Amino acid sequence: MRNSTNLENHINQYSALKQALQPHLGWHGARISFLALFLLALLKVKTVNLSELAVGFGGKALKESNYKRLQRFFRNFELDYFESAKTVVGWVNIPQP
């Protein structure tokens, strides 16, 4: 029963995070899905080590598959850090000077 509750909680967090990210990023669905999984894994394992993050993705995919997915993302994608920072600041309601 507890595993079922954990899975439902993870799915709810994943769905909510995807919905929160979508309006702020002009990315296609697969990229948004990856980012949501990545952020949840980052919070779960509390490290930036890719092999440990790969375990935090969970699901049916092998750890090695998730690791390769992480490598491809960081090798082939350039993140706009300014836009990302603006989005995060907007979410946490940091007052502007």
Structural domain contains residue 97: no
What per-residue confidence (pLDDT) applies to 49? 92
What per-residue confidence (pLDDT) applies to 2? 54
Tokens of 90: 């907007």
DSSP 19: H
User: Do residues 80 and 86 make contact, with C-beta atoms less than 8 angstroms apart?
Assistant: no
Structural domain contains residue 73: yes
User: Do residues 40 and 13 make contact, with C-beta atoms less than 8 angstroms apart?
Assistant: yes
What per-residue confidence (pLDDT) applies to 8? 77
What is the tens place of the pLDDT at every residue in 33-52?
988 999 899 888 999 999 99
Structural domain contains residue 28: yes
What per-residue confidence (pLDDT) applies to 63? 92
Structural domain contains residue 83: yes
* Cα radius of gyration rounded to whole Å, the chain: 15
Give how many domains the chain has, as a whole number: 1
Which residues form the domain of 43? 2-91
